[in-house]
Amino acid sequence: MALTVSRTALIAGAFGLGLTFQAAAARADEAPPTKDKVQDIVVTARRLNAARASIQPQIGASTYTIDSKAIEALPGGDNTAMNQVVLQAPGVAQDSYGQLHIRGEHNGLQFRLNGVILPEGLSVFSQALSPRLAEKVQLITGALPAEYGLRTAGIVDITSKTQFDNSGSVSIYGGSHGQYQPSLEYGGNSGNLNYFVSLSYLHSQLGVESPDGRSTPLHDQTDQIQGFGYVEDIIDPASKVSLIVGSSVQRFQIPDLSGQATNGLSVNGQTTYPSDKLNENQKELTHYAIASYLHTTDRFTGQVSLFARYSTLKFSPDVVGDLLYDGIAQTADKGDTAGGIQAEAVYKLTDSHTLRAGLIAEIDRSTSQTSSQVIPLCGYQGVTDCVDGAQISEQPVTIIDNGARTSRTYSVYAQDEWKLLSSLTLNYGLRFDQFEGYRTENQVSPRANLVWTPLKGTTLHIGYARYFTPPPFELVASESVGKFANTSAQAPGSLDTTPYAERANYYDIGAEQVVVPGLTVGLDTYYKTSKHLIDEGQFGAPIIETPFNYQDGLQYGIEFSSSYQHGPLSAYFNLAYQRAQGRNIVSSQFNFDPGDLAYIKNNYIYLDHDQKFTGSAGVSYLWLGTRFSTDLIYGGGLRADGTVPNGRALSPYTQVNLGVSHRFAKVPTGPYEVRLDVINLFDKRYEIRDGTGVGVGAPQYGQRRGVFVGLTKAF
């Protein structure tokens, strides 16, 4: 397996664990079609895919690519969650609930399927996309070209599998934590029609991170079903239509902590409740679809796509228990429906100038229905003959708080790839984004990247990008703060400024060098300043993130990457240093302690997801049909409260994973593949969160040691 790093679309290098990268031009030069009809369709499909890739060349950005063979070689293979695959790239830090932070950003990820935007949805624990569907996964970050916008911390672009040879596989995987995971995938063709489908089911007793470091937490079961389908029709050698559909239905129990103390309230005469018997549950559902038409000629390639995503999140409380511990038992049903159009094209004007342009429009409808049980306190509904803050009734009251809102986003861009010299390319352009949601805001964003290859194997780049990032519309709180005044769910404050769009200047400088054949090293540094920096926090039930803004933000860092590939051996090593700070919280202020707000108003603090050092490494070796692989992640520790908000870092940690797999090809009814994986080999017990910090909810620990086995039958 190999992990590939490409600082530009002009140069492709080998990068670790055998993940391979092929530039679009290289794919276009594949062997010509044979007389066999199936082979002719396959080659045509590949040529059209290469044409599609030329629309989004990623010039000047830092691109890390993991292909399906590399995913298979990771400990866990394609049973690994998508976030764990992306975690192997440089500068990626893990957080609770499966979240990832790229270069000190809070989420800020945009997912694309075959280059088409997948709208954001309501999900906290769930992973709507599986590595099982991917031919390759690309993480694109840095000073991005103009085709990328709105979510700019990182673009996760997944190219769906092109396994159209009327074959498939069925597998069963499982082991520790009560996990079992059957799956099926199949790809075939019929005439000009190609298709690929996959289906998987997961049951585990470790659905959410453990809150106390136990190997199998209390009340933490999950059941997850994921399905994916891709079909394309080759109309002629120059055009095709395609359809992607997918679905994810995932249920989670919220894990319990034993031995916790209640909050001192009384509910219908009850004052105690065992914390290890709480029964909170959350269901997350996502359906998505993308329909595309592609046409290409010698000089022009264009694609028009319609995309849609429907997602829901339903939280079911433990009414008595939640009241006695949290002061609120909220039943929540949130939904989000988004859809739009993405039209993009590339035109080769001259040998020196290649023009690209695009239009993206999206509409998003978000609904929220909540019914909250709370305990009335002194002052509720005008009751004042009582002690301030005292409970005035043991009978819960119900607060209904429903809402709905629609947003619209319009984006256009144009850019020119200008070859100044044979070794020097300037890619420059403009992007305009208009966001109409809880606020109406817009921005014109210039982009420029200069890429120089002075010597064979040497690539230098420098880039600038102006970014415009609206807050995640579906996550903006719609609750009425005043409804909960003088109840056990009263917010710390009353000020509730609507979140703003973030506006940032981003600078990136880097170099990549092929030291000797097979060995590539890279160094990249970045610096970002922002107004209304967006962060997110978890502020109660249901378990969903809520965006807020710092007036000023500052992020910077440096990344080192290296990879080696020679014969059956491949290896990689990444290490990143980063800092992320903010000052003065200026939206959603009611969620925060007034003392914290006063301090942060005049002082920069580290963001809760700041992690000073982040690392990843891996080695893979193939010997007589058996592949041995190991990888590790290193984290310097996220932030927690100290003498000031987010004033200290949690302890650093290293997690090592091990995998062994062997393919039995010459056996009756074969071929078969068997695998053995050990996750967290040394059973390292480490905290991801300790429950303190600005916007941090409960404590979470990393996964303890798990041993898993798998069997795959190809057919």
- Here the tokens at position 356 are 């690209």
SS (H, E, C) 400-429: EEEEEEEEEEEEEEEEEEEEEECCEEEEEE
Which of left, alpha, beta for 467 (phi over 0: left; psi -120 to 50: alpha)?
beta
Phi, psi angle pair for 576, to nearest 5°: -130, 145
In the predicted model, is pLDDT for residue 141 greater than 90?
yes
Buried b (16+ CB within 10 A) or exposed e, 15-47: bbbbbbbbbbeeeeeeeeeeeeeeebbbbbbeb
Distance CA 250, CA 683 (A): 27
In the predicted model, is pLDDT for residue 243 greater than 90?
yes
Buried b (16+ CB within 10 A) or exposed e, 348-359: beeeeebbbbbe
682-691 pLDDT per residue, tens: 999 999 999 9
Distance CA 255, CA 683 (A): 20
Give me the pLDDT at residue 476, please: 78
Give me the pLDDT at residue 479, please: 66
72-101 pLDDT per residue, tens: 889 999 999 999 999 999 999 999 888 899
In the predicted model, is pLDDT for residue 4 greater than 80?
no
> Residue 29 — pLDDT band, cuts 50, 70, 90?
very low
> Residue 494 — pLDDT band, cuts 50, 70, 90?
confident
Strands 109-113 and 92-94: unpaired
Between 382 and 36, where is the model more confident? 382
Give me the pLDDT at residue 128, please: 82
Averaged confidence pLDDT in the chain: 90
41-55, 423-437, 625-639: least confident range:
41-55
Give the amino acid at 401. D
Give me the pLDDT at residue 697, please: 82
CA 179-180-181 angle, to 5 degrees, is: 125
271-304 pLDDT per residue, tens: 999 999 999 999 999 999 999 999 999 999 999 9
For the chain, give the percent of residues with pLDDT over 90: 76
Distance CA 154, CA 618 (A): 22
In the predicted model, is pLDDT for residue 559 greater than 50?
yes
In Å, how far are 257, 307, 361 from 310, measured between CA atoms? 33, 11, 17
Distance CA 181, CA 195 (A): 24
Nearest to 659 by CA among 711, 709, 702: 709
Give me the pLDDT at residue 200, please: 96
Give the position of tokens 């010698």: 298
Would you call 78 helix, strand, or coil by DSSP? helix
Distance CA 447, CA 390 (A): 57
- Here the tokens at position 643 are 């003498």
Give the position of tokens 């790229």: 102
Distance CA 265, CA 271 (A): 6
- Here the tokens at position 537 are 């926090």
- Here the tokens at position 392 are 């005035």
In the predicted model, is pLDDT for residue 20 greater than 50?
no
> Residue 3 — pLDDT band, cuts 50, 70, 90?
low
Which of left, alpha, beta for 636 (phi over 0: left; psi -120 to 50: alpha)?
alpha
In the predicted model, is pLDDT for residue 649 greater than 50?
yes
Counting Cβ atoms within 10 Å, is residue 653 exposed (0-12), middle (13-18) or buried (19+)? Answer: middle
Task: State the Cα torsion 673-678-679-680 to the nearest 10°.
Answer: -160
In the predicted model, is pLDDT for residue 515 greater than 90?
yes
Nearest to 227 by CA among 285, 162, 314: 285
Can you give the C-alpha Rg of the chain in angstroms? Answer: 26
Distance CA 448, CA 59 (A): 10
Give the amino acid at 478. S
Domains and CATH numbers, the chain: 3-714 (2.40.170.20)
> Residue 37 — pLDDT band, cuts 50, 70, 90?
low
Give me the pLDDT at residue 193, please: 92
561 with 576: CB under 8 angstroms? no
563 with 66: CB under 8 angstroms? no
Give me the pLDDT at residue 34, please: 41
Nearest to 715 by CA among 682, 674, 679, 670: 670
Strands 519-538 and 502-516: antiparallel
221-242 pLDDT per residue, tens: 999 999 999 999 999 999 999 9
9-23, 324-338, 478-492, 500-514: least confident range:
9-23
406-455 pLDDT per residue, tens: 999 999 999 999 999 999 999 999 999 999 998 999 999 999 999 999 99
Give the amino acid at 50. A
Which of left, alpha, beta for 680 (phi over 0: left; psi -120 to 50: alpha)?
left
In the predicted model, is pLDDT for residue 16 greater than 50?
no
Instruction: Report the 10 Å Cβ neighbour count for 456.
Output: 8
